[in-house]
Amino acid sequence: MNFYRIIFKPILDRFFALILLIILLPLLVMIYLYVYLTISKTPIFSQFRPGLNQKLFKLYKFKTMSDKKDNRGILLQDELRLNSHGRFLRSLSIDELPELFNILIGEMSFIGPRPLLKEYLTLYNERQQKRHDVKPGLTGLAQVNGRNKLNWDQKLALDAEYSDRLSALMDIRILFRTVFQIFKSSEIDHNGKIMPKFEGSKKK
């Protein structure tokens, strides 16, 4: 398991990220223009997120929410900035494609817990902190077991379980299940709404 986790998995990640970036380059350009015309004049979203061992890295995604602001110059609520074009990108996880660059430079993996907001770091209990014992991923155990239909405790429990049980066989299973999960657009929302922010769990 250590050989796969430390050596083989990172090599596979970078190799396939490079291949996919080359193959998908025309598609990435088309999506960039699509976002520019329908959502935002700055199509790439970037934000620092905690990765392996809580080290911060800059995550890249296509924007799915507009930059609309109120009359005070403050961004509107997420629900008001997410239009049909953004929902379409999210439903097929197309907005995640720029993260292939994060994988290529070794900050992420194809399989692993999703990279969450850095302000959550102080809210995790000891068990939930285990999600940072592995690199964050494009998809993970939580994403193929309900995605945003799960509550935060369920999602973070699955992230910790992945960290404990990481293996080549588990990654293969998650990868194949992800292919089918992409088309379950009903799981991109949490009870019909955008997933609420994590506010902490009871210490365990």
Whole-angstrom CA distances from 140 to 24, 73, 102, 173, 180 are 22, 37, 16, 10, 13
Give this prediction's pTM: 0.90
Reported as a single tens digit per residue, the pLDDT across 127-181 is: 999 999 999 999 999 999 987 789 999 999 999 999 999 999 999 999 999 988 7
Who's near 59: CB < 8 A, 6+ residues apart? Answer: 46, 47, 48, 49, 99, 102, 108, 115
Q: What are phi and psi of 111, to 5 degrees?
A: -115, 130
The per-residue pLDDT for 204 is 47
Cβ-contact 142, 149 below 8 angstroms: no
- Those residues of the chain that have pLDDT short of 70 are 1, 183-193, 202-204
The per-residue pLDDT for 79 is 84
Start-to-end CA distance of the chain, whole Å, equals 27
Q: Distance from CA of residue 127 to its chain's centroid?
A: 20
The per-residue pLDDT for 7 is 94
The per-residue pLDDT for 201 is 80
The per-residue pLDDT for 136 is 98
